[in-house]
Amino acid sequence: MGFASLGVKEFVKLSDTPAAYAGKALKPVQVNAGVTALEFTNWRKFTGTKIFDGQTASPPTRYLKPVTMYPNINPDGSGGALQRSFATIAAGEIYTGGGRYTTLGVYNTQWWKYTIATGKWTRLANLPNNYGSSVNWRSNAGYFNGKIYLRAEYLNNDYSRKLLIYDIAGDSWTSLETWGSMSTHNYILACCTDSLYLAVDTDFRKIDYTTLAITVLTALASDPLAGGVCGDDVIAAHGNATYRYNKGTTAWDNMAQAYPNYIHGSGCFVEDGDALYYVNDDYDIFQKYTIAGGWVAQFTCGRATRMPDYLLQVSGEAKIYCYWDNPESYTATDNVACGSIHVYDPDSLNWCLLATDLVAGDFIVVDTGGVPILVEVNGMLKWTCTGLSTFFIMESGRYYFTLSKDYTMINTKIWKSVWG
């Protein structure tokens, strides 16, 4: 076979003077875009972004991956059609009810308790009227000394501003007028040991547990976006700041703790009163607040649907019980319809180091620091690495880097890049 069959018509030779190649030593040579001459290029190199560094991550292992959940149980047989209901927790039992069905004007006055130890629902006394809460986002339920307190934002789907009081031993209800009709989604209910506190918009009051007398207090300058009771103090967040109500000075102290960049949270009640939990706006990362440590990312929700409407924690447990009350949460495969309770159990989980979106064509370099890391996408295990490894991404999706909770991520580093 001759050179002519390969399209070569003549020999290619170097005809320029040596000065034309000054500074080009060891550079690759290629035909230019116009196919008219040769040109010199730089060597291609791997440049990119470090997406995780165990030396600087706080904490080094940031998120948890849920692997267990409670079944999707709707206690009243509604088929997942309830929304704007209430939920809180007391003495190892979850209480929930109220709200409405997806059909406007069809209400739910039922009240139930879910016993965690047995996994059973028990029907209790109905609510005194067609009460409901706002469409999640706020802490509007609490417990103190045998009674459950609920901020009833709605009555017959219109604003009411009632305080509902449920006596557990007597299985009975009392309702109290707190504010008149006024539309808002910005409020916090906090059951402290001295009084019940309610922050609504720029109004702030406390209610005596025995006499139910209302005292007007100094309000937060701006509407509260999240908060609750923590360490027997009232915590409220707004903008990029976190505040604690000082009962001695009757003023709001700025805690100098930045509030994560999200607007919506979930109704939160922690029975021990030592922390708050919220979910950020992409329905993914759970945030934990403590007075000593501020806001710290904890674990991922593990699903792409709406956030849970209530996050509840039993005294002495690390588990987070998630109650879903919005029908928009429901999908045929996800099973988080109204009335379902799921649990996130840190004691039974693998740690999820990182969840990141990758596209076909990306390069990933993983330096595990010697610990085994599993990499999953779309529910499938893709690879396991224990040392320095390079991967070419063939399938676009959200990739989860997980490992056993018995290991630490201090020496782990992950880069994402392309050749350029």
* DSSP notation for 148-181: EEEEEEEETTEEEEEEEEEETTTTEEEEEE-S-S
The residues, ordered by sequence, that sit 6+ positions from 175 with a Cβ below 8 Å of its Cβ are: 128, 129, 152, 162, 163, 164, 165
- Please tell me the predicted confidence (pLDDT) of residue 333: 43
Nearest in space to 218 (alpha carbons), one of 238, 204, 235: 204
The residues, ordered by sequence, that sit 6+ positions from 172 with a Cβ below 8 Å of its Cβ are: 125, 166
Query: Taking the mean position of all CA atoms in its chain, how far away is CA 79?
Result: 25
106 CB burial (10 A radius; 0-12, 13-18, 19+): exposed
- The residues pairing with 196 across neighbouring beta strands, listed in sequence order, are 191, 207
- Please tell me the predicted confidence (pLDDT) of residue 121: 75
- Please tell me the predicted confidence (pLDDT) of residue 74: 46
H-helix or E-strand containing 81?
none
Phi-psi region of 250 (alpha: psi -120 to 50; beta: other; left: phi over 0): left
Nearest in space to 109 (alpha carbons), one of 88, 82, 135: 82
β-strands 214-217, 226-230 pairing:
unpaired
Nearest in space to 200 (alpha carbons), one of 152, 155, 250, 248: 152
The residues, ordered by sequence, that sit 6+ positions from 12 with a Cβ below 8 Å of its Cβ are: none
* CA Rg value for the chain: 29
CATH number of the domain at 67-348, please?
2.120.10.80
Domain 47-61+353-419 has CATH 3.40.50: no
Question: For residue 192, what are the CA distances in angstroms to 144, 155, 233?
Answer: 8, 26, 7
Q: What is the pTM of this model?
A: 0.68
Q: Which two tokens stand for residue 67?
A: 């692997």
Distance CA 291, CA 281 (A): 22
The residues, ordered by sequence, that sit 6+ positions from 258 with a Cβ below 8 Å of its Cβ are: 240, 241, 242, 294, 295
Domain boundaries, the chain: 3-40, 47-61+353-419, 67-348
Number of Cβ within 10 Å of residue 107's Cβ equals 22
pLDDT-flagged residues of the chain (< 70): 1-19, 44-46, 57-82, 102-103, 134-137, 180-185, 261-265, 280-285, 297-307, 325-340, 346-352, 379, 405-406, 418-420
Q: Which two tokens stand for residue 250?
A: 């009757």
User: Helix, strand or coil for residue 356?
Assistant: strand
- Please tell me the predicted confidence (pLDDT) of residue 128: 94
